[in-house]
Structure 1
Amino acid sequence: MRDEDVLAAVRALAPVLRGRAAEAEELRRVPDASVAELTRTGFFRLLRPRRHGGLAADPAVFYAAVHELARACGSTAWAAAALGVHPWYVAQLDARAQDEVWDAADPGTDSALICSSHAPTGTVTPAAGGFRLSGRWHFSAGCDHAAWALLGGVVADADGTPVDMRTFLVPRSDYRVDDVWDTVGLRGTGSNDVVVDDAFVPAHRTLGYGPVTSLRCPGHDVNPEPVFRLPYAAVFTTAVSTVMVGIAEGAHDHHVARARAAAGRPHGRRLAEDPFAQVRLARAAAEIDAARLQLARNTAELYAAARAGREPSPALRVRARRDQALAAERAVTAVDLLRGNTAGGPLRGGDDVLGRAWRDLHTGRGQAANDVERALVLYGRSALGLDVDDPMV
């Protein structure tokens, strides 16, 4: 299977997923059939190492696939992007952890899907050979479909002073999913809570934020492909923003098609003939284009540096963070503009594409990666010659 074959298969599947968008909202999770069909496209292998049957693809291909999914169904794309990006993170871990995840999976399948909740909300206790982990982690998209979870935690010294932030890889047998996800938007992501009751996590299934941020991870010893030399902050946050932009583009395309065909007159004239509606459409399209172009530029430059064996410059890393957050903001702005063309229509519930996009984007705006002001501060500090020390860069 080639990268382009996966992308073509995802595009072919998109209309089916679009038809299930209302079902995903009703279920409050991605339908099992959608996950099975996505698995068959090879999507979940794009960022898996080749030594474990993956494609170790150009990240641009992964984001293009995520974008196609988001144009069809925002919830499905959000959960799929999360499950699809986590093989990249596991590829940073010790080879033993990678072997445990993928060698135990059913041959020829993608049964080892991985969810996450990186916010360090659990309790970590050092133990012989590893750590003991307990707690509750929130907002784990797609966790109902996962066999493993990546969970954040703070490690403290004997005096209780935090000394390290780590991510812990935990098998499904050591955690349970608590069905608490009931929201206005992104309802179909199944972003439920993951609960762990005193599980032992061996040291080789953990990774500190320091090695991840400095691009010095143990997985590099066995995975030479350049995609695994990218900064995790850029890989993950770009996946989030790509979903947001794809949702906005899908809503824009749908709105334009309906406006061309409709005879309605929400402001006293046919929508397609309303110059103010035309201006809003143009502005919305420009916001979407700007977001896509900046994300694509940064991804291309980051990947070029990795292929050349170079670390990306600090300036590129903070720019990627800046543009990622602004892309999410632009997606929200675009759909807000489109909403201005339809009076109160998008405020209604039901199976309405623009209304669902509006709800999904305003919910997704709350994701920590989309905190625009925090991202812009980092860029501003860097531009002014001040130190930047943040795990999101």
Structure 2
Amino acid sequence: MTRQLLPPTETVPSSEDLIARAEALREQLWADAPEADRTRRLTDAAVDAVTAAGLNRLMTPRRFGGYETDVRTVLDVSIQIGKGCGNSAWVNAVHNSGNFVVGMFPDQAREDVWGDNPDARTSMVLVAPSATVEPADGGLVVTGKWGFASGSLHAEWILVLAGQPDSQLLLIPLSDLTIDDTWHVAGMRGTGSNTVVADRVFVPQHRAVPYRPILDGQLPVVREDEPLYRTTLSGVLQVFLLGGMIGEASAALDFVLDKAPNRAIASSTYASQSDSVPFQVLVAEAAALIDTARLHATRAADTIDARRPLDVPTRARMRMDAAWTVQKCREAVDLLMTAHGTSAFAEFNPLQRIWRDLGVGSRHGGFGGQIPQEVYGKALLGLDPRQASYLL
């Protein structure tokens, strides 16, 4: 049976409180980030800290103990988490995105996920499906593999695509799947974005919904008291992923500025980087790029929060906003590596980890390949952006 709506004044913290909770985790996440990079998974301590702060509940319906907050709050929380650990921010963004999608499912599926655990985490893979489905009594049986499953090492549930040409989103407990260790990459190593495998797994019908309506923000089940879940998935997912990269770029700037007064510049007369005009120019440009990134991300978040449903040209612009955000973050960190000096590339230096993370994260399929630019260009010219990509 569906739970009664919980009183927001008693159970739902303010946006300011949630952002402050995330900011309070920065020191611990910063300390754990090297281990996450080395072991290719988040530390249990980091996952537990984020969970204890309630930051997995941001997109969970209030009737199931969640906060059902707005998109801008999730972005700002993710930025603060990213200042401590970009990988933790990425995983948290995926989990909140997954929970957002589960919010669109029938009540029986939502009860499966959160009935006994309001902190339950849902990972999600939206890559092209390589799965087969067979009808079965009361549902279907699925066999397949899905790569790039960020957050799957720390989730209880996962959403995967299956079926062609009309794909379905399937909600499956991780306990029914196996995980192949395939995530051996240069950056974003701690996200544990391995491959999940299903071998004739039964999925009941209430945990299988058409993908296209979810992508377009057209709920299979409309709940008038939950307007959050009537917006485009692609916009939400992309905005959430931006936060960690803005946070990491901001952390890199803070690190470089903090070290500058006590660092000399090799082969120069400057005893302090702070006194160097070229250094001043580099950090100023980096700071402006990060500000630009945050402004574009904020516009996208505010657009989602203000307008439901969103028209295609606006959705195309939001995808461009996302691509522009990550590009500016990457450019900012490149400048900061130069400003700090060659020791930035030393293994002991956190800057090189951030540099690698931004290099990988900014080339995610939602941002890379100049597809967002093509999508937006088509929209500006009055053409159909979906000729270039379905992800709008």
Q: Which residue of 2 aligns with 1:137?
A: 146
Q: What amino acid does structure 2 have at the position aligned with 1:140?
A: A
Which secondary structure does the structure 2 equivalent of 1:43 belong to?
A: coil
Aligned to 1:158: none
Matches of 2:296 and 2:263, distance apart in 1: 37
Distance 2:306 2:267 in 1: 49
Match of 1:92, SS state, is coil
By how many angstroms is 1:9 displaced? 1.5
2:263 corresponding residue in structure 1: 263
Pairing 1:118–2:126 present: yes
Q: Is the 8 A contact 2:256 2:340 kept in 1?
A: no
Does the C-alpha gap of structure 1 residues 166 and 209 become closer, same or farther in structure 2, counting only changes over 3 Å?
same
Identity over aligned residues, as a percent?
31
Contact 1:178 1:193 in 2 (8 A): yes
Q: Which moved more, 1:212-221 or 1:274-283?
A: 212-221
8 Å Cα contact 2:216/2:233 also seen in 1: no
2:156 to 134, 137, 147: 147
Structure 1, gaps ≥5 residues long? 156-162
Task: Kindly indicate whether residue 193 of structure 2 is the aligned counterpart of residue 191 of structure 1.
Answer: yes
Counterpart residue identity of residue 155, structure 2: A
Offset, 1:71: 0.9
Work out whether 1:26 is the aligned partner of 2:38: yes
For 1:266, the aligned partner's letter is A
**Deviations, residues 96-150 of structure 1 (Å, cap 9, x unaligned):** 21111111x34xx51x211122213332223034332112211212211111111
Distance (Å, rounded) in 1 between the aligned partners of 2:26 and 2:340: 26
Q: What is the Cα deviation at residue 22 of structure 1?
A: 1.2
- Aligned residue in 1 for 2:229: 228
Q: What is the CA-CA distance between 1:267 and the residue it aligns to?
A: 4.9
Q: 2:330 aligns with which of 329, 332, 335?
A: 332
| Among 173, 193, 214, the residue aligned to 2:175 | 173
Cα deviation for residue 280 of structure 1 reads 1.3
* Residue type of the alignment partner of 1:232: L
Secondary structure of the residue aligned to 1:139 is: strand
Residue 159 (structure 1) aligns with: none
Contact preservation (8 Å) 1:178, 1:195 = yes
Task: Please name the residue that 2:84 is paired with.
Answer: 72
Letter in 2 for 1:201: V
2:66, 2:320 → 1: CA distance?
Answer: 30
Contact 2:216 2:231 in 1 (8 A): no
Matches within 5 A, 1:39-54: 39-54=51-66
In structure 2, how many angstroms separate the alpha carbons of the residues matched to 1:52 and 1:263?
A: 52
Give the drift of 1:219: 4.0
1:154 Cα shift?
3.1
Between stretches 76-85 and 63-72, larger displacement belongs to 76-85
Contact 2:179 2:194 in 1 (8 A): yes
CA distance in structure 2 between the aligned counterparts of 1:330 and 1:26, rounded to whole angstroms: 27
How far residue 190 of structure 1 moved from its aligned partner, in angstroms, is 1.5
Rounded Cα–Cα distance in structure 1 between residues aligned with 2:279 and 2:211:
47
Q: Please tell me whether the aligned partners of residues 120 and 154 of structure 1 are also in contact (alpha carbons under 8 angstroms).
A: no
Equivalent residue of 1:317, what SS? Answer: helix
Question: How many aligned positions are there?
Answer: 375
TM-score, length of structure 1 as denominator length: 0.91
Q: Distance in 2 between matches of 1:385 and 1:113?
A: 40
Query: In the alignment, which residue of structure 2 is the partner of 1:286?
Result: 288
In the TM superposition, what is the alpha-carbon distance from 1:372 to its structure 2 partner?
A: 5.3
- The aligned residue for residue 276 of structure 1 is 278
- Distance in 1 (CA, whole Å) between partners of 2:307 and 2:191 is 33
- Separation of aligned partners in 2, 1:114 and 1:367: 19
Distance in 2, matches of 1:345 and 1:230, equals 45
The root-mean-square deviation of aligned C-alpha atoms, in Å, is 1.7
Paired position in structure 2 for 1:358? 355
1:367 aligns with 2:367: no
Cα pair 2:131 2:145 within 8 Å, conserved: no
Matches within 5 A, 1:72-91: 72-91=84-103
In the TM superposition, what whole-angstrom CA distance separates every residue of 1:279-300 from its partner, at most 9, and x where no partner exists?
Answer: 1111111111111111112211
Shift of the alpha carbon at 1:220? Answer: 2.8
Over 3 Å counting, the alpha-carbon distance change for 1:219 and 1:38 in structure 2 is farther
Q: Give the Cα–Cα distance (whole angstroms) in 1 for the partners of residues 17 and 46 of structure 2.
A: 18
In structure 2, relative to structure 1, the CA distance for the partners of 1:340 and 1:169 (3 Å cut) is: same
Deviation per residue, 1:221-273 (Å, 9 max, x gap): 3x63332222111100111222212111111111111113x232235123212
AA at the equivalent of 1:338: L
Partner deviation per Cα, 1:52-108 (whole Å, 9 max, x = no partner): 1111102111111100011111111111211122110111112221111111x34xx
Structure 2 gaps of 5+ residues are 1-11
Give the TM-score taking structure 2 as reference length: 0.91
The answer as to whether partners of 1:143 and 1:190 remain within 8 angstroms in 2 is yes
Show the counterpart of 1:7: 19
1:35 partnered with 2:34: no
Cα distance in 2 between the residues matched to 1:125 and 1:186:
32
| AA aligned opposite 1:152 | L
